[in-house]
Amino acid sequence: MPHLFTTETKNYRPLERRNDYPWEILRERLVRELGQEFSLFLAEPVTRAGEGFVDWYTASAATPVPASELAADEREKLFDQLRDMRVRIYELADRISAPGRRDADKRFSDAIRRITVVPDDLRFVFSLGGQPVLVLWGMLHVDDVRTEAEVLGEALRYRDPSQRPAPPPPPPPPRVVVRRGFPFGALLWLLFAALIGAIYYLMFEKCDVAIGPQMRLLSSFGVNACVSPFGNDAAARRRELEERIRKAELDLARIQGDCAPPVQRATAPPPPPPPVVEKPPEVQIREDACKLLAQRGVPCDPRIKLQVSLIWKGLEDVDLYVDCPGGNEISHNNKTGCSGEGYVDTNHDVDARPPEYNAVENAQWRNPPAGHYKVRVNLYSRRARSPRDIDFTVVIKCGENVSTVTKKFSQGGLETLNITELDYPACAATQQ
C-alpha cells in the first residue's frame, strides 16, 4: 500500500471526544452510503508503537501530490470536489441523527462529522489523480485551543487557517470599586476658599481696588464701612463708561440694520448621475453559461449563429438533445450530428473526469441547416444522491436574439422533458 505522509503524535491532538470508530468501519460506511468515490477519502493511519509516529497510507497507486504544490486551477478544482464531499458527509450525518428515526445513531453521526476536519487543507489534503485524500483527519494542532463546536463546519468556510478570523479579545477584568471615607480634605479646601473670599470682600473692596455692585451690596449690610471720595468718583466714572458702551452698541446695531444684505450668487446644481443600464436576465444567464463553457475549453464564438446551452447546479447526470431538420439529432451519443460542433457533455464519464457541481452542456452551429429544431433534456442518472428537485435553464441564441427556458425535474425517477421548438432562420421559439 503506497505511503502518503508521516506525522508525530506529540504535535497533534484529536478533537474533544476521541474517534471511537476505526478506519475500516468509517470507510465501509461512507462507501456504502455515499458511493465508491469515498473509498480513498480517508488515508489509513498506522501507528508505530513506542516511537511516537503515525504513517498514513492509501490503496491508490497514483502519485500523491499535496494541495499546496498543485497549480492554482487544479487546486481550486480539488477543493471544490472536497467541499462537495464534505457537504455530502454532513448530509449523511444529519440523516443518521434525524429525530424519530428508529436506527438513529448520534454517536456515529458526530464521528463522521469530525473526520472532515484536518489541521490545514493546504498541507494535509492530497490529490490522487484529482481525487482528494485526507491525512490527519479528525485532528488539530496541539496549539489550536478551539473546541469541537467551534471547529465543526469550519472546513466548509475556510480552506487556509491564515484566513480564519481572529478570536474575540478577552473580556476586560471586573472593575474594583474602592469605597472611600468621608472627604475631610475637601472640607478644608472649601474652608480655605471661603477665607480667600472673605479677604477679598473685606480688604480689596474696602480699599476701592475693585468697584462693582457687590461693594454697594456689602455696604448696605455694613460690611464695607470704608466710603472714600476716590471710591465715589470711581463708581461714577464706571457708570458713565458703561452707559457710553451701551449707547455705542445701539448705534452699531442701527447701522448694521440699514445695510443691505449681501447678494447670494446662485450656484448651478450638480449634474445628475448617469443612468444605470441593467442587462436583461437572459443576457446575464447566457454570460454565465459562456463562462462555464470557457472553463470546459469551448468559448462562446461570435460567429456561432445557433447555440443551445443547458446549465444546472448538482452532480446528477443531465443530458441535452437537439432534434434537427431531417430526423437527425445531436447529443452525447452523436456529438457532431446535424453538422453541429462544440458539444459539451458533463457529469457523464466520472472515471475520465470528476463530476462538477456547476454543470453545463452545449450544442452549436456556425452554419445550421434551415428548418425545424426540437430541444429536449433528459435526467439520465441521479448518481445515488438523495432525491431532490433539480432546477435547470436552457439558453438559446439564434442570431442576435437570446431567450431562456427554466424548468425542473421533480423528486422521483428519471424522465425526459420537451423544452422548446424553433425554426431557423426565423428563430420563432415557443416554450413547451
- Is residue 13 domain-shared with residue 151, that is, in the same domain? yes
Strands 306-313 and 139-141: unpaired
Query: What's the confidence (pLDDT) of residue 387?
Result: 82
User: What confidence category does residue 225 fall into, taking pLDDT thresholds of 50, 70 and 90?
Assistant: very low
- Is residue 294 domain-shared with residue 402, that is, in the same domain? yes
- Is residue 9 domain-shared with residue 153, that is, in the same domain? yes
- Is residue 74 domain-shared with residue 205, that is, in the same domain? no
Query: What's the confidence (pLDDT) of residue 15?
Result: 79
**How many other CB atoms are found less than 10 A from the CB of residue 404?**
21
367 or 197: which leads in pLDDT: 367
The answer to the question of residue 202 being in a domain is yes
Q: Check residue 158 and report its DSSP letter.
A: -
Q: Is the dihedral of CA 59, 64, 66, 67 positive or negative?
A: negative
Domain boundary among 214, 239, 264: 239
Which CATH number do you get for residue 322? Answer: 2.60.60
For the cut 60, the answer to whether the pLDDT of residue 404 exceeds it is yes
Average pLDDT over residues 16-21: 64
Instruction: Name the phi and psi angles at 9, rounded to 5.
Output: -65, -25
- Is residue 134 domain-shared with residue 217, that is, in the same domain? no
- Is residue 157 domain-shared with residue 202, that is, in the same domain? no
Query: What's the confidence (pLDDT) of residue 159?
Result: 46
The answer to the question of residue 178 being in a domain is no
Instruction: With beta carbons less than 8 A apart as the criterion, state whether 393 and 313 touch.
Output: no
* Residue span of the structural domain in which 38 resides: 3-161
For 295-333, b/e burial (b = at least 16 CB within 10 A) is: ebebebeeebbbbbbbbbebbbbbbbbbbbeeeebbbbe
Domain boundary among 161, 177, 206: 161
- Is residue 353 domain-shared with residue 204, that is, in the same domain? no
The answer to the question of residue 57 being in a domain is yes
- Averaged pLDDT of the chain: 82
Query: What's the confidence (pLDDT) of residue 382?
Result: 86
- Is residue 212 domain-shared with residue 153, that is, in the same domain? no
428 or 159: which leads in pLDDT: 428
Reduced to 3 states (helix: H, G, I; strand: E, B; else coil), residue 43 is coil
Report the share of the chain in percent with pLDDT over 90. 32
pLDDT digits (tens, 9 = 90+) for 347-363: 888 777 888 889 999 99
Domain boundary among 210, 239, 268: 239
For the cut 60, the answer to whether the pLDDT of residue 226 exceeds it is no
Most confident of 16-30, 46-60, 205-219: 46-60
The answer to the question of residue 144 being in a domain is yes
Reduced to 3 states (helix: H, G, I; strand: E, B; else coil), residue 96 is helix
The answer to the question of residue 114 being in a domain is yes
- Is residue 106 domain-shared with residue 203, that is, in the same domain? no
For the cut 80, the answer to whether the pLDDT of residue 168 exceeds it is no
- Is residue 15 domain-shared with residue 67, that is, in the same domain? yes
Query: What's the confidence (pLDDT) of residue 5?
Result: 87
pLDDT digits (tens, 9 = 90+) for 238-284: 889 999 998 998 888 888 776 656 556 667 777 887 776 677 888 88
Lowest mean pLDDT of 114-128, 133-147, 272-286, 327-341, name the range.
Answer: 272-286
- pTM for the full predicted model: 0.39
Report the share of the chain in percent with pLDDT over 70. 81
The answer to the question of residue 203 being in a domain is yes
User: What confidence category does residue 432 fall into, taking pLDDT thresholds of 50, 70 and 90?
Assistant: very low
For the cut 90, the answer to whether the pLDDT of residue 392 exceeds it is yes
The tally of domains found in the chain comes to 3
Lowest mean pLDDT of 55-59, 217-221, 332-336, name the range.
Answer: 217-221
Instruction: Compute the distance between CA of residue 214 and CA of residue 205 in angstroms, rounded to an integer.
Output: 9
For the cut 70, the answer to whether the pLDDT of residue 343 exceeds it is yes
- Is residue 299 domain-shared with residue 408, that is, in the same domain? yes
pLDDT digits (tens, 9 = 90+) for 280-325: 888 889 899 999 999 989 999 889 999 999 999 988 889 999 999 9
Strands 329-330 and 390-398: unpaired
- Is residue 10 domain-shared with residue 148, that is, in the same domain? yes
The answer to the question of residue 358 being in a domain is yes
